[in-house]
Amino acid sequence: MKETVLIVEDDAAMLRGLRDNFELEGYLVKVARTGKAAIEMAEATRPDLIVLDVMLPEVNGFEVCHYLREGGVEAPIILLTAKSREVDVVMGLKLGADDYVTKPFSIRELLARADAFLRRRREKEREIFEFGNCRLDVAAHVFTKDRAEVKLSPKQFELLHYLAANTGRVLTRERLLQEVWGADRLVTPRSVDRFVTTLRQQVEEDPHHPRWIETVREFGYKFTG
Amino acid sequence: MKETVLIVEDDAAMLRGLRDNFELEGYLVKVARTGKAAIEMAEATRPDLIVLDVMLPEVNGFEVCHYLREGGVEAPIILLTAKSREVDVVMGLKLGADDYVTKPFSIRELLARADAFLRRRREKEREIFEFGNCRLDVAAHVFTKDRAEVKLSPKQFELLHYLAANTGRVLTRERLLQEVWGADRLVTPRSVDRFVTTLRQQVEEDPHHPRWIETVREFGYKFTG
DNA sequence: TGAGGCGGTAACGTTTCGGTAACATGGGGG
DNA sequence: CCCCCATGTTACCGAAACGTTACCGCCTCA
């Protein structure tokens, strides 16, 4: 899935240049020509990154920046400032911008910084589930309890992963079989029970009185965040 | 090409001493006497290293440090602190400094630390992976173990490189095939196994109990930094 | 053209893990 | 209060996944 960048720029020529370059890099580009439009667009499309010119008609970039953050927009914001006046930079950063580039700038540099932010974000998104003193790192395929690694078998790991990914939801045995074991696999629903048992012995403090993996009689199991 | 160091210091005598020494060592030296000037200069010249006095007029060194990092300056920063008060050091490191030296200090020591940082940076740029007593130099295309060169075949090298570049992450056979062998290549996933085996015999102390290249059953392999 | 290094596959052995059955337990309803 | 059924637990077997060796074909270089 393409990542979305919102470009806020009133100058047509500059806008075109930016748009072309970002599209060439594989981004889905949204544009806004005024502060107002930018704020509306950001609320509506929730872009992954915002490139914001400070010099805008009506509402200037600093204010846009401020409103965006007030409105809960958490995407990284890169400011385009005409002059490298320190006050601009400081103010921009204070108002919630994450980085800035001063005109005239190399488009390469801007793209590089954009990429850096998105990469950082992707790294952050490494699926990690934490509960109690346990921690499930999907990318590294490591489960730790009390900071010590606990070995889980492949199915155990997948089951715990699926449970944790559906925290608070009751999952039937059939559903678990389908999602963890695979649709075509024909396996007794009772197998789920056994796996839950062994999982509890590895995850729970007291496997007989589980804190995390609850059994819902007649229905299935539930992971309690 | 000479490496650039930015020295931020308001005391003229000290500044001169530092400048002379760094120039003698072959650095290109830029100077700033105030925090404001330092920030502008850092943005403008993108130095490879910053030596920053904490005691500055107007904006103090901690603040400068903070703003530099906010502004995306990634060069190592060495703080010069007048007193070795622990709180200074902790605050400095929190705000993004990399090292500190307490006055009065030996110029030799400062130069040594600067050199250490720049060497580390150079290594990063040359893509050198070190683990245990092994060392993978991608640019030079040399793998050494216990300081002795070990010949790796092209594919072996590529595989180790890709594994090391994704330290701590489980890589499926499919992913490895795609990244190391190339997308179109049609090769059995089991081939990965064999390459891992041979790699382990060259890299690991005890190939039967691998320390670096871990197998994650059902998922693939993982390089453990 | 032949030898050797390299990459790829197949086949075999080992180990671990998943699956089922069988027995134990416990809780809710009659 | 007791019985029954859903779930917990244990034991064991077969199979799949992986490690390892053997072997073959290709390319390179002498």
Instruction: Indicate the burial class of A35 (C-beta count within 10 angstroms; 0-12, 13-18, 19 or more).
Output: buried
Place A215 in a pLDDT band, splitting at 50, 70 and 90.
Answer: very high
DSSP string, A124-150: HTS-EEEETTEEEETTTTEEEETTEE-
Q: Cβ separation of A113 and B219 shorter than 8 Å?
A: no
**Between residues B97 and B39, which one has the greater pLDDT?**
B39
**A138-153 pLDDT per residue, tens:** 999 999 999 999 999 9
**Considering the entire predicted model, what is its pTM?**
0.60
Instruction: Find the mean pLDDT for residues A120-137.
Output: 81
Nucleotide nearest to B200 (CA to C1'): D19
Arithmetic mean of pLDDT over chain B? 83
Place A202 in a pLDDT band, splitting at 50, 70 and 90.
Answer: very high
Place B2 in a pLDDT band, splitting at 50, 70 and 90.
Answer: confident
- What residue of A is the nearest CA neighbor of B69? A99
Q: Are A49 and A117 in contact (CB under 8 A)?
A: yes
Q: Cβ separation of B222 and A99 shorter than 8 Å?
A: no
The pLDDT of residue A210 is 92
The pLDDT of residue B1 is 62
Place B61 in a pLDDT band, splitting at 50, 70 and 90.
Answer: confident
**B145-167 pLDDT per residue, tens:** 999 999 999 999 999 999 998 89
Please check the confidence at residue B58 and state whether its pLDDT lies above 80.
no
The pLDDT of residue A24 is 79
**A13-69 pLDDT per residue, tens:** 888 888 888 887 778 888 989 888 888 888 888 888 999 888 777 777 788 888 888
Please check the confidence at residue A96 and state whether its pLDDT lies above 70.
no
Interatomic separation, CA of residue A185 and C1' of nucleotide D23, rounded (Å): 36
**Between residues B11 and A195, which one has the greater pLDDT?**
A195
Q: Are A64 and A36 in contact (CB under 8 A)?
A: no
Long-range pairs, A181-190, Cβ under 8 A, ≥24: A181/A155
The pLDDT of residue A1 is 61
CA distance A99 to chain B (A): 6
**Between residues A134 and B81, which one has the greater pLDDT?**
A134
The pLDDT of residue A150 is 94
Measure the CA–CA gap between B143 and B148, rounded to whole angstroms.
8
**B88-143 pLDDT per residue, tens:** 555 555 566 666 677 666 677 677 778 767 776 766 666 788 899 999 988 888 99
Q: Cβ separation of A140 and B40 shorter than 8 Å?
A: no
Peptide bond into B57 cis (omega under 30): no
**Between residues A71 and B9, which one has the greater pLDDT?**
B9
Interatomic separation, CA of residue A218 and C1' of nucleotide C28, rounded (Å): 12
**Between residues A86 and A80, which one has the greater pLDDT?**
A80
Most confident residue range from B28-32, B40-44, B97-101, B153-157:
B153-157
Measure the CA–CA gap between A224 and A170, rounded to whole angstroms.
10
